[in-house]
Every structure is written in C-alpha cells, then in structure tokens.
Structure 1
Amino acid sequence: MNSIALILGYVWPEPNSSAAGARIVQLIKALQSRGLEVHFACAAAPTEHQIDLGAMQVTAHTIELNSSSFNQFVATLEPELVIFDRFVTEEQFGWRVAESCSGAMRILDTEDLHSLRYAREKILKKAQKNNQECGPVLAQSQEIFQVMREDELVMREVAAIFRCDLSLMISEFEIDLLTRFFSVPASLLLHVPFMVECSARSTPTFAEREHFVSIGNFRHAPNWDAVLWLKQDLWPLLRRRCPSAQLHIYGAYPPKKATQLTNPKERFLVKGWADDALQVVENAKVLLAPLRFGAGIKGKIVDAMRTSTPSVVTSIAAESMAGDCAWPGIVADTKESFVDAAAQIYQNESHWLLASQACLPLLCSRYDFAMRSEELMSIVCARLQSLERFRRNNFLGGMFQYHSARSTEFMSRWIEVKSRINAQ
C-alpha cells in the first residue's frame, strides 16, 4: 500500500463549525492510524475558522476548478487513495483523477445523502404551503423515493456513487434506501458513522447544570428550520412548563435574521458561535434537536453523548443513530409530546440520570474510533488489493464513468479554454 492518501475537500474543514468538518478530521486520523501520509486539497477560499492542517501533519494544497493544472498535480503526487468530500467534488475532479491517476482507489464520502435531505424539505414545504400543522417529515421510504426520483439531484448523486470504488455512508437508513430503491450494490457502500474517542469524562451533575441548548451551523437548512420551529411553536409552550429555564441557541455563521430572534423576556437567546461546543453542551441540562427534515446522522447528538447530556429529539434527528441501544433521552415527533418530554427530563432528576447514563454505552457501541477506523481501513486495504478485479465486475460503474465523465470533462475543458481567452 502506497503511503499517500489525498482528500479533495468541498471546503476547508471547520470541525468547530459543522459535523461535516469534524467528519473530515476523523477520516484524516483514521488514515494516519495506518501510517498513511495525508494530503488535503481544496479549491474553496480559506476561512477564519478552518483547522490548522499543518498541526495535524497534513499537507495542504490549493487547487483550481476547471484547470488541467490539477491533472499535473495529482499525477505528480501519485496517491493510492483519493477521497472526494461530497458528490459535487467527485463530479468536478473524479474524471481528472481517473485520467491522470487511474490506479488510485476512488472513495466518495457522501457526508449525508443530499437528495434525501432535499426530498424531505420538499415534503415539508408542500405541507406548509397547504397550511398544515407541520412536525417532522415521517414519510416512509417508498414515498421518499417517489419524491427523490423527480429531481435530477439524485441522478447526479447515485451516478457519483457508481463511479467510485467505495462510498462511505454515515447512515444505515440511507444504505437501505440506495440498495432497495436505487439498485446500488451493497459492495459499493460502507457504513462509517462518526468516529470519536470513547472514554468516560467528568461532566457536571444534574444540579450543576442549567438551561436548554440547541446547536447547529446556521448555514445548514435543517438547523435553521429547527430554530424557527423552536421559536414559533415549541419554546412558547416549554418556557411555561419550565419557568426558570432559558433556551440557548448556538451555531456557526448566524445571520442577522437569526440573532434578531433573541428575546431576553422570553428567555430565548441566540448565542451564535461556540468556541467549545462540548463545553456548551455539557453545561446544559438538556439538548434539544427538533429537526423536521434532514439526512445523515447528527454531530450535535454525538456531542451530547460524549458529555452525558440527555437529548430530546425528533425521529429525523434520531435516524440511524442508536441501533439496538436505548436512546439517551426521548424521541418525540408532535409538538405536545416534544414539549412534555423536554419538561419531564429537565425537571425530573431520576429521569435525567437514566438518560445521562445511557449516553456512554451508546457512544461506545456505535461510534468508538478504534473500532470504526479499524473496520474502515481493513476494508479499504482489502479493496485496494483486488481493485482491478472489482472494477471489472462493476460494469455499471464503468459505464457511468465513461458517459458522465465525458460530459463533465467537455464542460470543464470548455470553461478552462473560455477563462484562458478572457484572461488574454
């Protein structure tokens, strides 16, 4: 196995801003655990909150979109593994990797199934347009499939999955959806949830904690929708049940429309950026995650588990997170049941303690870094050893690579030529 792995980032990783950023850091550590030299390349502009990759012993590269300079870069680097951060990155660079570094194993990290998230959002907006009282989208797989297939997004996303040698899926629900309804072979998919160090930590007691907390990047549509549902429907009821409690809303990149929701009299406080998300969560008595749509699994809930903080969540937020383990809190999907659950855990120490004690067993069962990273790297190494045979057997993948890559390639080359002419 060659010593180089290249990650092509959609954006520069910000682990303190989003679960997606934390996910990239986890993958980097998993690769390094097998002695790989990791390189990270990205065409996006640098950001204020991006992680110091150099401090992680990762070599960073700035690359260009629609430029043959990338072909030269990847051919010179000669990575054995190339990981695409989300399907749009594979669309942009996958054909170039296949052309200039054909022996490299191509891995897609989906982050979450974007087309599933958008389908659920579409269902929610339709219900809202019809003036229905809207809780979380609880549509079954068959209905979701019918909505997904109406949008070209799923065509692009599934095509990217077929073109790659392996796709890392964060959610078992998404694996089931792809294999049952989109004819994706199970051999192309690998369940890799979040991977965190699984160890007990000293956290505040019930008596030492106060208030409710909700956290999530404001640029992520499901998080912003959850804030609005809290503000408009859930918190007005919950604050009456818990008259001394405040609701603290944290998240990266809060827009003005979010900070303007702050109302001290209502004890609804939009705090914005959190320097230390774990500290914010562990000082709260209960984490609220009233997501009405979305996909993947939720980093905020993993943070709650790591800090032994009970959580009250919707089925969307809980999807594919617990397996056969007990939920460390309560899953509730109606406005009334959600408020009842939050008030119950907040006010009843024995209920709170039971939920808090369920956090570590679930964390260790599902998200232990040592276990999950070993599974990931063992399968990657095995796939590398039989890569040529595997590709021969993946006829549909080769067909998608031929046709989709040709159209993407010609568009990219046209943009490159146009940009060169305009610069003259």
Structure 2
Amino acid sequence: MMQLLEGFLAFDYDITFASTATKTEFSATLSDLGIKEVGILLNDASFDGFVSQLKPEVVIFDRFMVEEQFGWRVAQICPDSLLILNTEDLHSLRESRQLCFKKGEEWSILKWLQQDKTKRELASIFRSDLTLVVSTYERELLKEVTGVRAELLLHLPFLLDKVSESLINQFPKFKERKDFISFGNGKHAPNIDSFHYLIEEIWPTIKKKLPQSNLHIYGAYLPKMVQQLHNPAQGLLIHGWTHNLNQVIQKSRIVLAPLRFGAGIKGKLIDAMQNGTPSITTNIGVEGMGDFKLWPGKIANNPQNFAKEAVDLCNNENDWLQAQKNGIELINEHYNKEFLMERLMTRIEGIKESLVDHRSYNVIGTMLQHQTMAAAKYMGKWIEEKNRKN
C-alpha cells in the first residue's frame, strides 16, 4: 500500500487516505507525504457525506472486505468513480490452504472454490472496474478457473527501486556474514507455522551439521509460544521486532522461510533479494514470484531436504554468489516501480476513457451491482439503523 501511495504521488495525484483502523506506534504518518488522512466509520451514513464532498476520480479498496463495506456506497454516490480493488493476496486462497493444512488434507482448487470467502472475494472482484493482483499464479487462477476477464485484472507486484551496482558493492561479502535468519509479523498465521516448523523440525539438523551457527528470528507481535522457544544453548535467538531489518538481513548468510501455506508473493523473500541474501524456501514461498529454476537460493518441501539445502548453500561460496546475483536480477527485471506504475496509469486512463463500455462487458459485475443482489448494501443499512436505535 505504501508503494502504491508513493506511485500515485509520483503521477501528481491528490490523495485522501480513509481508514476505519486505529493507529498504532508502527503506523506511517502519511501527512508527511502530503496525503490527507481521514477517519471513517463502518455502517455509518457519515461516509456518504464524506465521499459526496470528495468526489474522487479513482477509489482504491484495500482488500475485498473494505470493498464489501464501502463499495456500494461509492458506486451509488459517485457512479463515475473508477473502482479499483487491491487484493494484496487472495485471502480466500490463503485461508482455504490454511484450513486444509490444519485438517491434514491436500489442498485443491475445487476446495478453494467451495469456500464461502472465495465467493465473497470473487464478487468483490467482479464489482470492481479493475483488480490488482501481486502474483502471476493468482492472476492465471482467476482468469482460467473463475472466468474473470483479463480486462478486469492487472498484475501489479511490489513496486521497487532497482538494486544499483553501488549498493551491491556495499553489501557485506560472503565471508563477512554468518548465521541464518527468519522473520515475519507474528499476527500472520503462515509465519507462526513457519517458525515452529523451522525450529522444531529443521533447525536441529542444521545445528548438528553446523554447530557454530545460530538462527535469529525477528518479527513484531511474536506470540509467547514463539518467544518461549528462545534457547541460546541450541543457537535459537528470538529477537522480536527490529528497528533496522535490512541491516540484520545483510549480516546474515541465508534467509530461511519454510512456508507451508499462504498466498500472494512473499515480502520476506523480496527483502532477502534486496539485501543480497540468498534464501531457502518452499514451492508456496516462490509461487507467482518468478522462474523456479533461477530462484535466488534453493527450494525444498520437506525438513530433510530443507536442512540439506541450507547447509550446502551456507558452505558453498560460488553457489551463494550465483544465488545473490539471481535475486538482484529478479528484482531489477520484474519489480521495477517506474515500469509497473506506468503500466497501471495507462490501464487506468484507458478504462476511464471508456468506462461505460468497460462496465457493460462486465456482465457479472453489473448483475452484482444491481440492487436486488446488493446484500452487503442492505446488511450495512440494517446495522446502521440498529446502531442508531441503540
């Protein structure tokens, strides 16, 4: 979201950021960027007056739950506004995989399609004029399986600066680095599972082969069950949140990310590439991010292979240097923010020029916008009236 905001600022957009969320100590101060911040309420008619006065040309909903709450209000009050859904990742996909994992079942596309949340997320996609997806896998899944027209989708991964030669030269060298690192937000279920899997099933084998090595784990909001695994005698160092993640990644020789479920593309693996640090991850980790054969590190899907790949890469400087090079090339070729934002702006302008026709061809979307199918609208109005009486 921060990358999108900065991208729109670069194209001289006047931005208002409206949110129902309560600010925390980790919240960005958007006003420093010249962005107006507005607090809004759920199921409250005050939003109608706010958006009527604002009259936005483009509205971006951050994830489908926000579109469910506010999309019908924007469509009703500002029918000419271009409606964009920013998926971040397909939440229904991540949730269905997590559910199958917990049940010990093999995940399938059919099981994903049967989820209630999948239907809600797809409805939000169809109601929108354009949906941004970060993963090539998810783009193809929506096109080939659910029938979402290509004109309604745009592959827009992370928007990143190129890794320059001068920055590469500043990276610590192979022999200047040591230890392994894993990191991620403690409120994200795939991260917590990954930490437990790594510590309990993978790390003992690595530690046996490399007794002088340590595993450093970083992340905000780490639950007690992860913090309690801190054990310096076994080389397990649980640090929690860090003020300078880039620095600790650059000090490390390898990033370990044994993800067993999830969706979208993985920010932790992007962070590894940007800091010149190879990674070991799984098929879920690399999904939708690039060519498996040129992955900047290794891919393994069981504890024994994962540990073996980690040890081998840690000991082989030539392979490590090639992995670092692959990561930098992947960032520079596929995540170039200037190219990606130009593509987004071109798509936005094209849709704006023929918005009526664009919507007419989106037959399912027009059906869902129709009042007889607008369940979210009438549920919101019912809650609003209930709150008023209370």
Bucket of the pairwise TM-score, normalised by the shorter protein? over 0.9
Q: Specify whether residues 413 and 254 from structure 1 end up closer, same or farther in structure 2 by C-alpha distance, changes over 3 A only.
A: same
Q: Residue type of the partner of 1:275?
A: H
The residue number in structure 2 matching 1:318 is: 286
Matched, 1:376 2:344: yes
1:41 Cα shift? 0.5
Contact 1:105-1:384 at 8 Å conserved across structures: yes
Contact 1:211-1:245 at 8 Å conserved across structures: yes
Deviates more, 1:411-420 or 1:186-195: 411-420
| Separation (CA, whole Å) in 1 of partners of 2:29 and 2:316 | 42
1:149 Cα shift? 2.1
1:279 Cα shift? 1.5
Tell me which of 143, 149, 159 is aligned to 1:179.
143
The residue number in structure 2 matching 1:45 is: 22
What per-residue deviation string (whole Å, max 9, x for no partner) do you get for residues 242-293 of structure 1?
A: 1111111111111222211111111111111121221221111100110000
1:405 Cα shift? 6.1
What per-residue deviation string (whole Å, max 9, x for no partner) do you get for residues 174-193 of structure 1?
A: 11111121111111111000
| Separation (CA, whole Å) in 1 of partners of 2:318 and 2:163 | 23
Gaps of at least 5 residues in structure 1 are 1-23, 129-138
Q: Residue type of the partner of 2:38?
A: H
The SS at the match of 1:106 is: strand
Matched, 1:239 2:203: no
| Separation (CA, whole Å) in 2 of partners of 1:408 and 1:42 | 18
| Separation (CA, whole Å) in 2 of partners of 1:271 and 1:404 | 53
What per-residue deviation string (whole Å, max 9, x for no partner) do you get for residues 220-263 of structure 1?
A: 11011000101210111111111111111111111222211111
The residue number in structure 2 matching 1:6 is: none
Give the TM-score, by structure 1 length: 0.89
Moved over 2 A (4+): 403-406
The residue number in structure 2 matching 1:351 is: 319
| Separation (CA, whole Å) in 2 of partners of 1:69 and 1:404 | 24
Q: Residue type of the partner of 1:195?
A: L
The SS at the match of 1:111 is: coil
Q: Specify whether residues 313 and 404 from structure 1 end up closer, same or farther in structure 2 by C-alpha distance, changes over 3 A only.
A: farther
Gaps of at least 5 residues in structure 2 are none
Give the TM-score, by structure 2 length: 0.96
Matched, 1:144 2:108: yes
The residue number in structure 1 matching 2:363 is: 395
Aligned residues: 386
Q: Specify whether residues 354 and 266 from structure 1 end up closer, same or farther in structure 2 by C-alpha distance, changes over 3 A only.
A: same
| Separation (CA, whole Å) in 2 of partners of 1:220 and 1:69 | 32
1:325 Cα shift? 7.0
What per-residue deviation string (whole Å, max 9, x for no partner) do you get for residues 137-182 of structure 1?
A: xx6xxx6221112210000000000000000001111111111211
1:421 Cα shift? 1.5
The SS at the match of 1:60 is: strand
The residue number in structure 2 matching 1:59 is: 36
Q: Specify whether residues 341 and 334 from structure 1 end up closer, same or farther in structure 2 by C-alpha distance, changes over 3 A only.
A: same
Matched, 1:338 2:315: no
Give the superposed CA RMSD: 1.4
The residue number in structure 2 matching 1:262 is: 230
What per-residue deviation string (whole Å, max 9, x for no partner) do you get for residues 313-353 of structure 1?
A: 10100111124771111111121111111011112222211
Contact 1:211-1:246 at 8 Å conserved across structures: yes
Identity of aligned residues (%): 40
Q: Specify whether residues 323 and 39 from structure 1 end up closer, same or farther in structure 2 by C-alpha distance, changes over 3 A only.
A: farther
Q: Specify whether residues 377 and 249 from structure 1 end up closer, same or farther in structure 2 by C-alpha distance, changes over 3 A only.
A: same
